[in-house]
A and B are shown apart, each in its own frame.
Chain A
């Protein structure tokens, strides 16, 4: 379980996070929603110790993040994390060289699923294919937790469908997934927990299936209520 406890974060004078608290369980897809600039990416960066927080605490399975954690939890930012001059094959080799949790079999499977060629250079890839390579590099790690920042933003509809398919497959099964998005429509049926963020706090956290069952509302209905007050 990933526990985010009352974290705050200031950028200069701007208070981006004012005490954010939520948990993301293993085997569930947790979705951080909010308009742009609300601090979604900052939260993911903070979980991965890629940005310091001013106060609060983040625990992964009860412990603070350390170097070994990166074999258990990984982050797929919204831009590629490899050098543009590298080929897809070289990027995969790099991952294999450095991560014990790298699963070459799964990587090859993903390569086929996304129809990517290992000899292609990252700099020559389309936006959709770059996003797929980025996803591949994260998904092929045998990690318990997977963080994804806006995996659907700015890419074509067919790539989006392919990526959405990943969420319903064995590739994320039994893992804890946190994704951020400002566009819920594509994935409303795919997510378990919804965390609505606004003005640096969690304004509402709920289970999407429960809100449909108990209140007869869609996730978008709830967002409308919360954000248009």
Chain B
């Protein structure tokens, strides 16, 4: 096993407890969302039909059939997603800073490993990326299960069945996470990966130059943003819809790769020549 793979494995292990807790919270909370939302809809229906003696058709007319959209709009459904996103965002910073601060000096060990320091960097980026993919995978597995529970609880004449695709499309926030074409998937996560790398580069600037590094880092982040969106700016302000959408896409692919590669190069330079413990 090469040292990069070992490092990824090690980084995954360091966050595993929190990560498993996140998974647990997501599963419990989302299942609870399905149950709570279904239950309250059923209670409504019971109340309407058994107490107010409303006909089923009238009830459906007034309240509508229950669909999975009711679940995805629940705070118990969105909450854990937001929690996971925020936690991973914070951890993207903490994955570096935890090695500098505290009683131990693990950064000494990491920087003194007989391997390219870029491997340490890429291992941390890969770990973040794998954590994201893992949670997305979890969501993909959870959706059919949650639909099953809903179908099991709510009788067929009271519900509106959605395909998994429809479930995702009807929910914007899921749409970003789970695009329905492979190309879109690659774009979304490519941009995500680029963002992590740019963030890491900013952290590297701060770690090398401390206070001054924060300014340099912010400057670098702005530059990365400008370079990435350059084709859009050119399109909007200079050439006025000169490019076809496919061309624009290709150009942004190029600038995105440029930003990612440039950030990795810059980080490597900082890690090997400028870093301080």
- Residue ranges of A at the interface with B (Cβ–Cβ < 8 Å): 45, 48-52, 67-71, 74-75, 77, 79-84, 94, 97-101, 122
* Chain A neighbourhood of B273, CB < 8 A: 52
- Whether, in the assembled complex, B254 has its beta carbon less than 8 Å from a beta carbon of chain A, the answer is no
* Chain A neighbourhood of B114, CB < 8 A: 67-71, 98-101
A-B contacts, 5 of them at CB < 8 A, read: A52-B276, A67-B114, A79-B103, A81-B108, A122-B104
* Chain B neighbourhood of A122, CB < 8 A: 104
Nearest B-chain residue to A95, judged by Cβ: B109
Bound Cα distance A52, B14 (Å): 29
B6 x A84 contact (CB < 8 A): no
B106 x A50 contact (CB < 8 A): no
B276 x A81 contact (CB < 8 A): no
- The answer to whether A98 and B275 touch (CB under 8 A), given A79-B104, A81-B108, A84-B102, is no
* Chain A neighbourhood of B106, CB < 8 A: 81-83
- Whether, in the assembled complex, B87 has its beta carbon less than 8 Å from a beta carbon of chain A, the answer is no
Residue tally, chain B, CB below 8 Å to A: 25
* Chain B neighbourhood of A101, CB < 8 A: 114
- Whether, in the assembled complex, B173 has its beta carbon less than 8 Å from a beta carbon of chain A, the answer is no
Bound Cα distance A94, B106 (Å): 12
- Whether, in the assembled complex, B112 has its beta carbon less than 8 Å from a beta carbon of chain A, the answer is yes
B103 x A84 contact (CB < 8 A): yes
Bound Cα distance A52, B276 (Å): 7
* Chain B neighbourhood of A69, CB < 8 A: 114
Bound Cα distance A68, B116 (Å): 9
- Whether, in the assembled complex, B47 has its beta carbon less than 8 Å from a beta carbon of chain A, the answer is no
> Would you give the shortest CB distance from A121 to chain B, in whole angstroms?
12
A98 x B103 contact (CB < 8 A): no
A48 x B103 contact (CB < 8 A): no
Bound Cα distance A77, B100 (Å): 14
- The answer to whether A52 and B108 touch (CB under 8 A), given A83-B14, A97-B6, A98-B6, is no
* Chain A neighbourhood of B272, CB < 8 A: 49
A51 x B102 contact (CB < 8 A): no
Q: Which of A52, A75, A79, A97 contacts B112 (CB 8 A)?
A: A75
